Amino acid sequence: MTDSGRPPVTVIGLGDMGRALAGAFLDRGHPTAVWNRTASRADALAARGATVAATPAEAIAASPLTVVCLLDDGAVRKVLEPAAATLRGRTLVNLTNGTPGQARETAAWAAGQGAEYVDGGIMAVPPMIGGPGALVLYSGSPAAFTGHEATLGALGAARHLGTDPGLAALYDVALLSAMYGMFGGFFQAVALTRSEKVPAAEFTPMVAAWLGAMMESLPALAEAVDSGDHSATGSNLRMQAAAYVNLLDAAREQGVGTELMEPMRALLDRAVAAGHGDGDLSSLVDLLRTAPA
Ligand code: FVH
């Protein structure tokens, strides 16, 4: 504990997200040590009171809790391995985006160094950090999470998903997959309407309303996935596969690419060929979990 009453924390990685994380800790009064490969990225944080470490090991030594937020898993290993001995007896929270397998490997590596490990997935963009809309998913050592929960609360709402360190990454990539699906659909829609010079800003409220209406069907689809009852309720798959061809043909007619759309057509066709034509879209989930013949 320090004069501020807040425990010290270290942030390694000062890209757009790392700087937002360190800034949120400083805002809450945590003595904050930082390190980044490109030292100049720490300048603004230093002006706000952060201590700039010369090496990752020096940064880790400054706090019981180190938060790492680097570009990818390769960067995490490259930065932490030379500082491994300093991790003993400390907690490492890794908020770098990665796969569940990478999270489990890093957890095993950290345990080998005598460190507690918590993996995390940030469901926010940098300006949201520290605000009411930010959610950070965690998994791994429950004791380490509980011990540092108050500090981590500076970043946003904190949700611990379980002891398996791979869970946070699994939820993170699942949520990002949903997000990119939505963005891909939006970009295709805007490319189509722009092909007739409809301003994107004029068309977008219609897209948002339509997606909002369709989003209401997600809980029913989820129930069908869980129960295995894929009975169609008015929009059978065979009809949808036939209509989907028009989405591709219209794109070609308008001179718009189809690369975002082709994979869904292949999946719909596979579903019909596998005998799911009378059923609902929800049967695609089971199909996705089996490789195409
Ligand atoms: N920004 C966002 O919207 C998303 C929100 C959700 C979470 N992601 C993930 O957060 C990780 C960091 O993302 P970022 O936005 O901070 O990324 P950059 O601004 O590109 O900063 C990258 C940092 O990584 C350092 N770095 C990269 N390679 C190495 C390396 N080989 N050795 C040491 N450090 C490395 C880089 O250092 P420098 O270029 O400044 O020297 C930055 O600190 C990421 O996993 C997102 O998926 C963000």
Residue 112, Cβ density class (10 Å: 0-12 exposed, 13-18 middle, ≥19 buried): exposed
Q: Same structural domain for residues 145 and 53?
A: yes
Rounded mean pLDDT of 37-54?
98
293 belongs to a structural domain: no
3 belongs to a structural domain: no
* Nearest Cα residue to atom 35 of ligand 1: 75
CATH code where residue 133 lies: 3.40.50.720
Distance, in Å, from the CA atom of 1 to the CA atom of 150, rounded to the nearest integer, reads 13
CB 254 within 8 A of CB 188: no
Q: Same structural domain for residues 139 and 114?
A: yes
CB 97 near ligand 1, within 6 Å: yes
The residue from 136, 163, 190 where one domain ends is 163
The residue from 124, 146, 163 where one domain ends is 163
Q: Which of 36, 30, 77 is nearest to 59 (CA)?
A: 36
Q: Same structural domain for residues 139 and 217?
A: no
pLDDT by residue (tens digit) across 69-90? 999 999 999 999 999 999 999 9
pLDDT by residue (tens digit) across 175-230? 999 999 999 999 999 999 999 999 999 999 999 999 999 999 999 999 999 999 99
- What's the 263 CA to ligand 1 centre distance in angstroms? 30
CATH code where residue 201 lies: 1.10.1040.10
Residue of 35, 52, 70, 129 to test ligand 1 pocket, by largest number of atoms within 8 Å of CB:
70
pLDDT by residue (tens digit) across 268-290? 999 999 999 999 999 999 999 98
Q: Which atom of ligand 1 is nearest to the CA of 14?
A: 43
Query: In total, how many domains does the chain have?
Result: 2
Q: Same structural domain for residues 178 and 159?
A: no
Distance, in Å, from the CA atom of 67 to the CA atom of 64, rounded to the nearest integer, reads 10
The residue from 163, 190, 218 where one domain ends is 163
Q: What is the ipTM of this complex?
A: 0.99
Q: Same structural domain for residues 138 and 175?
A: no
Q: Same structural domain for residues 125 and 180?
A: no
Domain range for 25: 9-163
